[in-house]
């Protein structure tokens, strides 16, 4: 029997979710859990083993140990199906066995933990990495995919891991697709945006992975933006039909196409699309989110009839459903719901109550920043309370986390300052001058 110190040393040396420094907040754990559940578990998904592995880790961190073990076991089964190898075992199970070694260790089952450590050793001896100083490409790919879905601030590292995996094992189409998507999504967020070279890489990836409808939808969206296409309806409708014929999943590109409809076709047609998807799949909660997005967009579109009470009531009803379907990860939806109540003829009290509940809840710094920013905008636009709005924009901006919400608050404070509102203008100027540098 291995000593406790030796066992812990070997566990720390494993490559698995327990050693990848994921450091999750509870709200992030629930977000990832819902995200993975909404992707679905239909056969043919090449990431199915990775999905079950990540779900197992999340359930363990949330305290659902039995669920975690069941999900880790399902991950092993899924890898056997998706890899279609001659043997039931392969290097793709190294991370899974590492997770099980850690889980049994946490359960106090040291013999089982050691058994999985031995399995990891056996796999690594039988399937060494093609590159002596690097991890096996299967490990790099799973680590990349996990960081891509779990840690928004480590996507560049995820792209690097995918690149290493692809260099050693270039025949894995899904790795190449995920790598290109990561690079494209990162480029979209830069000041210069997506360039023609990146768009061409996406086009090639789409040809190599024709079954990936998420990639097809994302390419259509970015191509329409870059090429300033006048009409995208025909391509979008063709893709919609393909998507609706397949099992419903949050990774099928439907939400992206709904955004294309909202921005390039019409909000009403986006609503029709979301409602048709719901008619075909009434029990899929992800589609409620899509429908809620459409009705919210309708209300903020400024079109004739966009603020009629029946449209607002429908949007409120859908958002209430979404909040109940994602009870532990619905902060943004709660705020959207409050803002919709504020637009209603009879909902101002409900709006203020929701904001009060959210402001008094236990939030991590990033969520506090989001809430302060949204509440500041609500105070200004709906309650016309300029003074309190400025105070809450300051509270959002002084949290040193780089985000859209911080930037929005800083931008609004600069606008208030430039309007030269006597004493407040000087106070804002001094506040902005002394702002701490954000954490990256």
Domains 4-127 and 139-363 share a fold: yes
Within 107-169, residue ranges assigned H as helices are: 110-126, 137-150, 155-168
Residue 38, exposed/middle/buried by CB under 10 A (0-12, 13-18, 19+)?
A: middle
Q: Which residues pair with 217 in a beta bridge?
A: none
Best CA proximity match to 236, nearest among 211, 248, 253:
253
Q: Residue 187: phi, psi to the nearest 5?
A: -65, -40
Domain 4-127 class in CATH: mainly alpha
For 228, other C-beta atoms within 10 Å of its C-beta total: 6
Best CA proximity match to 336, nearest among 291, 401, 395:
291
> For residue 99, what are the CA distances in angstroms to 46, 76, 120, 127, 239?
20, 11, 10, 19, 38
How confident is the model at residue 418, as a pLDDT? 87
d(CA 288, CA 388): 34
d(CA 415, CA 265): 33
**Those residues with Cβ within 8 angstroms of residue 308's Cβ, 6 or more apart along the chain or in another chain:** none
How confident is the model at residue 147, as a pLDDT? 95
How confident is the model at residue 1, as a pLDDT? 61
Q: What 3-state class would DSSP assign to 323?
A: helix
How confident is the model at residue 440, as a pLDDT? 55
pTM more than 0.75: yes
Q: Where are the domains of the chain?
A: 4-127, 139-363, 364-440
How confident is the model at residue 285, as a pLDDT? 94
- Asked if residue 139 lies in contact with residue 95, where contact means CB atoms within 8 angstroms, the answer is yes
CATH topology of domain 139-363: 1.25.40
pLDDT per residue rounded down to tens, the chain (440 residues): 677 788 899 999 999 999 999 978 888 899 999 999 999 877 668 899 999 999 999 999 999 999 999 999 999 999 988 886 656 789 999 999 999 999 999 999 999 999 999 999 999 999 999 988 999 999 999 999 999 988 777 888 999 999 999 999 999 999 999 999 999 998 988 878 889 999 999 999 999 999 999 999 999 999 888 776 567 888 899 999 999 888 888 999 999 999 999 998 899 999 999 999 999 999 999 999 999 999 999 999 877 667 889 999 999 999 999 999 999 988 999 999 999 999 998 889 999 999 999 999 999 898 999 999 999 999 999 999 999 999 999 999 999 998 999 999 999 999 999 887 667 888 999 999 999 888 65
How confident is the model at residue 200, as a pLDDT? 95
Q: Residue 47: phi, psi to the nearest 5?
A: -100, 15
d(CA 172, CA 174): 6
């Amino acid at each position: 029997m291995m000593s406790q110190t030796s066992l812990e040393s070997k566990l720390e040396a494993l490559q698995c979710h327990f050693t990848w420094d994921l450091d999750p907040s509870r709200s992030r754990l629930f977000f990832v859990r819902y995200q993975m559940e909404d992707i679905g578990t239909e056969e043919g998904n090449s990431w199915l083993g990775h999905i079950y592995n990540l779900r197992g880790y999340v359930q363990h961190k949330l305290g659902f140990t039995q669920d975690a073990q069941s999900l880790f076991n399902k991950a092993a089964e899924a890898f056997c199906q998706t890899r279609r190898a001659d043997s039931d075992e392969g290097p793709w199970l190294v991370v899974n066995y590492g997770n099980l070694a850690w889980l049994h260790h946490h359960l106090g089952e040291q013999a089982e933990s050691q058994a999985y450590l031995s399995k990891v050793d056996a796999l690594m001896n039988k399937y060494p990495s093609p590159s002596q100083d690097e991890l096996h490409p299967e490990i790099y790919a799973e680590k990349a995919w996990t960081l891509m879905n779990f840690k928004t601030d480590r996507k560049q590292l995820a792209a690097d891991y995918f690149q290493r995996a692809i260099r050693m094992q270039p025949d894995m189409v899904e790795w190449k697709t995920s790598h290109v998507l990561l690079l494209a999504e990162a480029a979209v967020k830069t000041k210069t945006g997506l360039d023609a070279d990146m768009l061409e890489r996406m086009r090639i990836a789409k040809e190599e992975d024709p079954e990936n409808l998420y990639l097809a939808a994302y390419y259509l969206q970015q191509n329409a933006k870059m090429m300033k296409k006048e009409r995208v309806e025909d391509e979008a409708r063709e893709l919609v039909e393909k998507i609706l014929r397949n099992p419903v999943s949050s990774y099928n590109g439907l939400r992206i196409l709904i955004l294309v409809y909202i921005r390039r076709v019409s909000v009403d047609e986006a609503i029709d699309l979301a409602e048709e998807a719901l008619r075909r799949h009434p029990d899929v909660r992800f589609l409620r989110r899509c429908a809620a997005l459409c009705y919210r967009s309708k209300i903020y579109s400024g079109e004739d009839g966009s603020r009629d009470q029946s449209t607002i009531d429908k949007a409120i009803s859908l958002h209430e459903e979404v909040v109940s379907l994602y009870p532990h990860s619905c902060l943004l939806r709660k705020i959207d719901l409050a803002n919709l109540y504020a637009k209603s003829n009879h909902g101002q009290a409900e709006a203020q109550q929701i904001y009060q509940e959210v402001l008094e809840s236990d939030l991590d710094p990033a969520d506090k920043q989001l809430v302060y920013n949204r509440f500041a905008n609500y105070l200004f636009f709906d309650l016309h309370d300029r003074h309190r709005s400025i105070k809450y924009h300051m509270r959002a901006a002084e949290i040193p986390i780089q985000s859209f919400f911080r930037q929005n608050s800083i931008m609004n404070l600069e606008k208030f300052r430039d309007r030269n509102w006597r004493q407040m203008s000087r106070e804002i100027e001094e506040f902005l001058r002394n702002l701490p540098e954000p954490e990256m």
